[in-house]
Structure 1
């Protein structure tokens, strides 16, 4: 019955059977308090797991649908229509609605900005930004191939829908509104796949997936951009690795890398852990499959003369952009009145020093994570290192777009399933959206001064750093790890789960010599 239930659940979960799942109302004070309106915590002798329908996974998926519905309604103000002076319909973004209603989504303006509304094929369609000005320059689709094709396919479906609607077969609206709704549908399905994969990865902690299904970050950012595609590939890739299918894991991570770069970062933690466990053959199979898949998706665009230049737009854009408002570099530049590493730059001149600094810092952070993995007394779990690497990338990168925080949500619950700290971080990160929108509105339009926004950026980064510290503490003190509290090693370790060490940086303890015995006749 115990007083340790609200302290993390070690005492409550230590006696679990091999297949028994963790009961959060007994191990998490947050879940216990939330259960009071529904009858309170589950009884210690209750029979669980026998309901014919409501499993933790299905509850998690239902909660995810609720969160996704709230997210859609949060963006709905930005797809309202009004009639112009000539009677034609257009989006109602009057009065900077996208900021005052905090409904901004990249999906809506990119429909026109990426020329999807004109039916052009991505990477083959070129246009000029700032046409007729000294800053005129060529532009192409700026997203990785899989995301770019996803956007184009949705635009084609939206335009087909509108054409059918003209014949009276379907209800309709502006093509950009239909495009947003079709895109939101697929992104919602991708997030449901993410929750499904996390629940299966968590094994006996399936309720953790239900917890993140209602994440404030999902409610705010599920439809801010296209990142749930990548979270789905990343989560299912980890699930394939957990099921000891390294080639399939590589294929899924390669597809994720063709949508957003970060799923390919998982190859680093897997390599480090495979070296420690002597399982490098499995890593080579995963890495080879990931590289082959990424190359197979990208090669047709890179090799075709009509799309080769457009294919490189993603890399050119990321090399020439400066420190985004969301980065710590911008915080220092604004608060210290610092011109930055490169000083004033000309138009389209790349910030060479900043690019080098971000790359060096990220590689140094990865080297430090590798040291921790090889020096820790017990082999870290896959999710712990993946979370640290992705967090290090976001903290050291010159860009932290708001939706990037979704990358951390599945990894965080698998790495450190402590609900209160995770909810605190997600709430701070989601709350950053409000000062961001009102900072973009501008003080001339009654928006917030920049310092409010920068203050929230620092708070968000400190919250992520605090989670990283907690993960490192649990790596060095595995008895504090809630996943290992009841005898498990690494639920998503796959071939690494329970594997003995083959290489570490720790000095082996020498056995103590027994004192010599005096032999007498």
Structure 2
């Protein structure tokens, strides 16, 4: 250690024996949206404009980017709760003036506050304290026949509803707590859990974004969160899916598989991400890691599903049965075609209980074609695509070809889109279009005779939404084949979410560029 005497003061200064580490608090690779994104730059003008050229960034101890993102998410989740709060209003409309839900005048559609959570509380017999999948009931079909029904959701979503019901009933049983209708308390309990799940989604997306952490602001402040954050239980699945992507990016394939498997037990879509992982691992020669993730996903899914399947097989199978017999939903491309052309569908007129065999086969074939196209792109691209890019293409392709696109399913795309195509204005435009579909949807359900809108007003907006998603897919494919245009790959970055795939050499590829490079190296 070197010592030096400093002039007259006599103070000794200790010099470091090695060269100090570089200060990275203002690393030039850091993404500063206020200086790189025109929309963010305009918004920054409200609070004084972007940071100066020589400003030191990254020294805030409390208001870190992640905490700002989570706070922003809380604000938009609060907007989402207020958007649904109109449907838990109470009124003395019961026998003897008892309080009940005030859905008079079709409030759920006029106020556009509809949430599946509220009617399912009674429809799934949760108000009776029934355990999902064990409890059955009879439903009268349109033709007068009766059918035995059970809880229609995957196991983890059904158990979440049951747990929320137990908490709501416990709350109401404590006299000194503020009281309300049990269904209103149940909605709020569900909403708290879903809000936490969406915060996990924001956190996992922000961590997956790496140096572009501010891209996750579009997840936190998405218009779709306001409209659909509490429409159904899909935030549970997005949390598991985003967590699975993050775990894979941290080179923890087993944990990634467990999270994707749990997500598949809540909604099936997180399991779709195993497909892109398989193709990417095949190209990079990392099938061992993919096998670990796939086996862990299967094990996690079985651990959740097997007890219910063994104890209540009929109730467990209800989700699969219902999805096989249901026809084209109003917001599917097949119903859109019928709406404008009068087409009766692949199966013609169906009666209650009839299975749309041809429709099921067509949707399966079209989705298989999408998966084949994505696999072709993954194997032929000059540079191996990023996981988020292929994941977005597969999930978007599933929604576009499926016979069901429930409005809240659009939440599935939000984290993947942000990681796959971090162009803020483009993503916000799509999310706004998608969120606005909710308005004609509600007034279409209201009915023309009740001052609603014709079906074509609703299906027309669905067409615009589908075209917007298809446009995003085209942009993702373009950037896969032109990686220089990919904002994520700047500064020599390969795939922040690739995990073992990040910077791994290609072992198998049909790309002529890759084969030529391999020959040159040989």
| TM-score under structure 2 length normalisation | 0.93
Q: In the alignment, is the contact (CA less than 8 A) between 2:248 and 2:497 conserved in 1? A: yes
Q: 1:20: how far off?
A: 4.2
Partner of 1:3: none
1:339 paired residue among 328, 339, 344: 344
Superposition pairs of residues 427-438 of structure 1, within 5 angstroms? 427-438=432-443
Matched, 1:45 2:54: yes
Matched, 1:107 2:117: yes
Partner of 2:332: 327
Matched, 1:119 2:118: no
Q: Per-residue CA shift, 1:85-139, capped at 9, x if unaligned?
A: 6110000000000000000000000000000000111000000111897221110
Structure 2 unaligned blocks of 5 or more: 1-23
Q: In the alignment, is the contact (CA less than 8 A) between 2:141 and 2:352 conserved in 1? A: no
Change (3 A) 1:275 1:353: same
Distance in 2 (alpha carbons) for counterparts of 1:120 and 1:81: 24
Q: In the alignment, is the contact (CA less than 8 A) between 1:56 and 1:210 conserved in 2? A: no
Distance in 2 (alpha carbons) for counterparts of 1:95 and 1:228: 30
Number of aligned pairs? Answer: 494
Q: 1:270: how far off?
A: 0.3
Partner of 1:509: 516
Change (3 A) 1:280 1:150: same
Q: In the alignment, is the contact (CA less than 8 A) between 1:145 and 1:258 conserved in 2? A: yes
Partner of 1:141: 151
Q: In the alignment, is the contact (CA less than 8 A) between 2:347 and 2:359 conserved in 1? A: yes
Distance in 1 (alpha carbons) for counterparts of 2:275 and 2:27: 31
Q: 1:230: how far off?
A: 0.3
Matched, 1:212 2:222: no
Partner of 1:8: none
Matched, 1:273 2:280: yes
Matched, 1:89 2:99: yes
Distance in 1 (alpha carbons) for counterparts of 2:335 and 2:415: 28
Q: 1:472: how far off?
A: 0.2
Q: Per-residue CA shift, 1:372-415, capped at 9, x if unaligned?
A: 00000000000000000000000000000000000000000000
Partner of 1:489: 494
Matched, 1:231 2:251: no
SS of residue paired to 1:128: strand
Q: Per-residue CA shift, 1:262-286, capped at 9, x if unaligned?
A: 0000000000000000000000000
Q: 1:21: how far off?
A: 2.2
Q: In the alignment, is the contact (CA less than 8 A) between 2:149 and 2:318 conserved in 1? A: yes
SS of residue paired to 2:100: strand
Partner of 1:414: 419
1:175 paired residue among 166, 175, 182: 182
Q: In the alignment, is the contact (CA less than 8 A) between 1:16 and 1:486 conserved in 2? A: no
Change (3 A) 1:451 1:243: same
Q: Per-residue CA shift, 1:435-465, capped at 9, x if unaligned?
A: 0000000010100111110110000000000
Partner of 1:464: 469
Partner of 2:32: 23
Partner of 2:201: 194
Matched, 1:391 2:388: no
Q: In the alignment, is the contact (CA less than 8 A) between 2:26 and 2:56 conserved in 1? A: no
Distance in 1 (alpha carbons) for counterparts of 2:215 and 2:53: 20
| TM-score under structure 1 length normalisation | 0.93
Structure 1 unaligned blocks of 5 or more: 1-14, 514-521
SS of residue paired to 2:97: coil
